[in-house]
Structure formats: C-alpha cells, structure tokens
C-alpha cells in the first residue's frame, strides 16, 4: 500500500515541480511582492543611471538648489543706442522662494565706468551707486509708481501722462518677469533621501497584486500591478495627518515598466506617472504630472549626447532638442524646430559655466510676442548654488528730489535704454 502511494506521489510532486519552475516568478510576486519589486526597482535605477551618465543634466544637477538660491558671475557685452557698447561684469544672486534678485558690479562704456548695485523683488526695485548716489539706495514701488512720481516737486509739469503710463507698463512687465522667472525655477521638491524613505515605508506595508495590461511597443501586454496605499496614520514620520499617497508599480518580465502615483493633502491633489518601457536605458521615457506631460528621447554616439524633450502644458506643445559634447562642452540647442543656437557648457569645481556668442538666437527661442528685443552680443555665466540676498532699505520714489530723479534717469536709466523722450 505504501509503495502504491509512493508511486502516486511521484507524478504529483513532478507536476508541482514543473508548476513551480514555470510560474515561480508569479508565485513569488504574490507571496513576497516586496522582494520582487525591490529587485526590479534596483534594476530600473541602474538603467536610468546608465542612461543619464553622459548627460549635461548631470552637470546642471550638481548645482540645483530647491529654493532657487544661486550665485552667478556674469560677463556680458550689449549694444545700446544711447551709449554704444556696454560691458557688464556683475555678481548676481537669486532667492527663488522669496522672488528676490540682487546684482552688483560694474558697467563700462566708451566714456566711463560705473559701479552699480541692483535689487528686484515682487514689490519694488532699487538701485545704488557709489559713483552717482554716494552708496544710498533709491527704489520704486510698483503699485504706487504713478502717484509717487507725480509727488516729486515740479516733475508733474515736465512728464506727460503718456510717458508715465509707458514707464508704468514697463515696471509692471519687470515685476511679472521677476515673479514668473523665479517661480518657475523652484519646483516642489522631495530630496533623494525623502523619496527613499517614503518608498521604504510603503514597501513595509502590504501590497495588493493584480493582473493588468499595458501597451508596450504598440502591443497590449499582460503585466502585474502592485498597489500600495498609505496615509498619515500609517506613516506618521513621513506623512502629515491629512496626507495620503497611492503608488502603483507595473511589472513585466521582472521589469518595472510604469509607475503611477496619487497624492492628496487636504483639498490639494497631485497625480502623475512615469513610463520606462522594458529598457529604461534606451527607450523613450514619458512623464505625467497633473496637466503637464513630458517625453524624452536620447541619442548617444561618438562622444556626443543628445536629447529631444517634448513638453505639453495647458494644450501647448514645446519641443527642445540639444546635442552636447562632454569633452569640449560645445552644445547646440533648438526649440520647436528653430535654427540651432550655439553655446558652451562645462563643469566647474563648484557648479557650471555657460558661454555663448549667440545670445540673440537663444533669446529668440523663448521670447514672447511683444517682449523686448534687446539682447547681449555675447555672455558668460558661471553658476554655483547658494546665495545671501539682503533686502536693502531705500528711499522710495516719492522721497526723491528733482536732482535725484534726473541723476538716476540719465545715469542708470540710460544703461537700460531708458530716456525721457
């Protein structure tokens, strides 16, 4: 009897062994999703690291500051209808979160050298010069400009309403650019440590495994999806009480091909995802964040690294293409099929350096209709992260004398192409 039972068990055990061999990945995925997912994420990280090793973004990323605080050395040559060629040598500091910019240095013309300090934020702009103003700061408050300028004795009889209106429009444009530029330079940031901690925390929670399908290389393909959900009660060290996050990992052939996420904090919501394909080292990557989508195609060869970024935001598509030589730093950049502009991007000890003698072409790529057409002839910028911007105390426009006004208009205003005509 025992011998008969043994012979019955042999084919059964053989069948079980075959099933385990053929379906081991699926069995392991359902039994221990964390183990499978950890291996797949490690593989994905390696592929992305391989892909972006030769990218100029690695040069820029070393100087990235989440609060938009940077210090830049700027040398630029411009052409001014009033003064001819002007050579600027400035140190520029930014504070992205505070929407503040501070610059100091010299402006050299054929006739004279002028020391100059400039401060800009969302409320006012101010200038100072030891040569012209004995180091005192003189400022203009955007919202009260029209009334402030008319409060200067006798000036209301000299300036026309049309001229004051044009100046006011220019000031509002400056404020808009300051707010827009610095706001766009700062993005919601989770540090690498924060992301690793959140991912590790999620993987400690039970994951739900299910079957799904994704379109890979134009073919609908079966895959497995692992869903993780957490809120502030489950991960109190990483999420606030009203915060929650859901992350879905799509696996095919032991590879993470897509990640979707959904985050809520009270009434605020953030959703998106990333598509990596079966080989994130070479395939087109696709990212989605709320209403903004991005795809990235990469080309490499003969010491040159190239990418094409297609960005769709609010129904508008922008395509950026560049090619970069890591050895020389020589770079060409094109936006929406424009003629390529040339620049040079190289790594420095504390950041990066960009030089171009094609400033007008670069600015034309991003210039909006109606924007100023003034552009430097050539420019060199050396950037490192970190800044120490101090908001100056200043004499507001309604405190200026007539002499102050004309000194500033003729001295500093002329550097920006402003005259009283």
Distance CA 369, CA 5 (A): 87
Per-residue model confidence (pLDDT) at position 352: 94
Q: Which residue has the higher pLDDT, 78 or 417?
A: 78
Per-residue model confidence (pLDDT) at position 94: 93
Q: What confidence tens digit (pLDDT) does each residue in 281-298 have?
A: 999 999 998 888 999 999
Q: Which pair of structure tokens corresponds to residue 84?
A: 């001819």
Least confident window among 119-128, 353-362, 378-387, 403-412: 403-412
Whether 20 has a pLDDT exceeding 80, the answer reads no
- Which residues are 213's β-sheet partners? 222
Q: Are the CB atoms for 303 and 327 separated by under 8 Å?
A: yes
Q: Which residues contact 404 (CB under 8 A, 6 or more apart)?
A: 133, 138, 395
Q: What confidence tens digit (pLDDT) does each residue in 237-249 have?
A: 777 888 888 889 9
Q: What confidence tens digit (pLDDT) does each residue in 35-75 have?
A: 778 888 888 889 988 888 888 988 888 888 888 899 999 99
Whose tokens are 């102050």? That residue is: 404
Whether 419 has a pLDDT exceeding 60, the answer reads no
Whether 76 has a pLDDT exceeding 60, the answer reads yes
Per-residue model confidence (pLDDT) at position 187: 46
Residue 193 banded pLDDT, cuts 50, 70, 90: low
Least confident window among 204-218, 323-337, 388-402: 204-218
Q: What confidence tens digit (pLDDT) does each residue in 210-222 have?
A: 888 998 888 899 8
């Amino acid at each position: 009897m025992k011998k008969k039972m043994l012979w019955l068990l042999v084919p059964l055990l053989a069948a079980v062994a075959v099933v385990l061999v053929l379906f081991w990945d699926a069995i392991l995925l359902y039994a221990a999703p964390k183990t499978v997912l950890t291996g797949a994420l490690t593989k994905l990280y390696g592929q992305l690291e391989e892909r972006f090793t030769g990218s100029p973004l690695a040069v820029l990323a070393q100087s990235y500051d989440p609060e938009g605080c940077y210090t830049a050395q700027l040398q630029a040559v411009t052409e001014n209808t009033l003064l001819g060629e002007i050579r600027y040598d400035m140190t520029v500091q930014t504070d992205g979160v505070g929407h503040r910019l501070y610059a100091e240095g010299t402006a050299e013309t054929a006739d004279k050298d002028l020391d100059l300090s400039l401060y800009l934020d969302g409320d006012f702009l101010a200038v100072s010069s030891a040569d012209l103003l004995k180091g005192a700061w003189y400022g203009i408050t955007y919202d009260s400009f029209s009334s402030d300028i008319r409060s200067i004795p006798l000036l209301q009889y000299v300036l026309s309403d049309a001229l004051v209106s044009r100046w006011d429009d220019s000031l509002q444009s400056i404020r808009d650019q300051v707010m827009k530029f610095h706001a766009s330079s700062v993005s919601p940031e989770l540090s690498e440590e924060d992301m690793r901690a959140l991912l590790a925390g999620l993987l400690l929670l039970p994951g739900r495994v299910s079957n799904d399908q994704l379109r890979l290389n134009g073919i609908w393909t079966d895959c497995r999806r692992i869903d993780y959900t957490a809120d502030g009660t489950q991960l109190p060290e990483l999420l606030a009480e009203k915060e929650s996050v859901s992350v879905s990992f799509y696996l095919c052939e032991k590879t993470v091909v897509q990640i979707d996420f959904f985050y809520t904090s009270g009434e605020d919501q953030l959703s998106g995802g990333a598509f990596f394909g079966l080989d994130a080292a070479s395939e087109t990557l696709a990212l989605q964040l709320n209403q903004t989508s991005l795809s990235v195609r990469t080309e490499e060869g003969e010491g040159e690294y190239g990418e094409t970024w297609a960005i769709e935001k609010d129904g508008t598509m922008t395509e950026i293409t560049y090619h970069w030589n890591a050895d020389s730093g020589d770079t060409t950049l094109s936006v929406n099929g424009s003629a390529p502009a040339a620049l040079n991007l190289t790594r420095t000890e504390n950041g990066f350096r960009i030089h171009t003698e094609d400033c007008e072409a670069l600015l034309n790529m991003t210039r909006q209709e109606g924007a100023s057409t003034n552009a430097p002839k050539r420019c060199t910028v050396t950037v490192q992260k970190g800044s120490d911007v101090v908001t100056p105390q200043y004499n507001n426009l309604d405190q200026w004398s007539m002499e102050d006004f004309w000194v500033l208009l003729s001295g500093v205003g002329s550097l920006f192409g402003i005259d009283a005509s």
